A and B are shown apart, each in its own frame.
Chain A
Amino acid sequence: GDSVTQTEGLVTLTEGLPVMLNCTYQSTYSPFLFWYVQHLNEAPKLLLKSFTDNKRPEHQGFHATLHKSSSSFHLQKSSAQLSDSALYYCALSDHPSSSFSKLVFGQGTSLSVVP
Chain B
Amino acid sequence: EAAVTQSPRSKVAVTGGKVTLSCHQTNNHDYMYWYRQDTGHGLRLIHYSYVADSTEKGDIPDGYKASRPSQENFSLILELASLSQTAVYFCASTGQGGNERLFFGHGTKLSVL
Taking beta carbons and an 8 Å cutoff, which residues of B are in contact with A?
A: 4, 33, 35, 40-45, 48, 50, 58, 90, 96-99, 101-102, 104-107
Contacts and interface: CB of A to CB of B under 8 A. Distances in A.
Main secondary structure, interface of A, reads loop
A106 to B, nearest CB: 6
Contacts of B96: 99
Given A6-B42, A43-B104, A91-B43, 14 more contacts: A9-B40, A36-B102, A43-B105, A46-B101, A89-B42, A93-B98, A98-B99, A99-B99, A100-B98, A101-B99, A102-B48, A102-B97, A103-B98, A107-B40
Interface of A: 6, 9, 32, 36, 42-46, 49, 89, 91, 93-96, 98-108
Contacts, number: 59
14 contacts: A32-B99, A36-B102, A42-B106, A43-B90, A44-B43, A44-B104, A89-B42, A93-B99, A98-B99, A100-B50, A102-B33, A103-B45, A106-B42, A108-B42
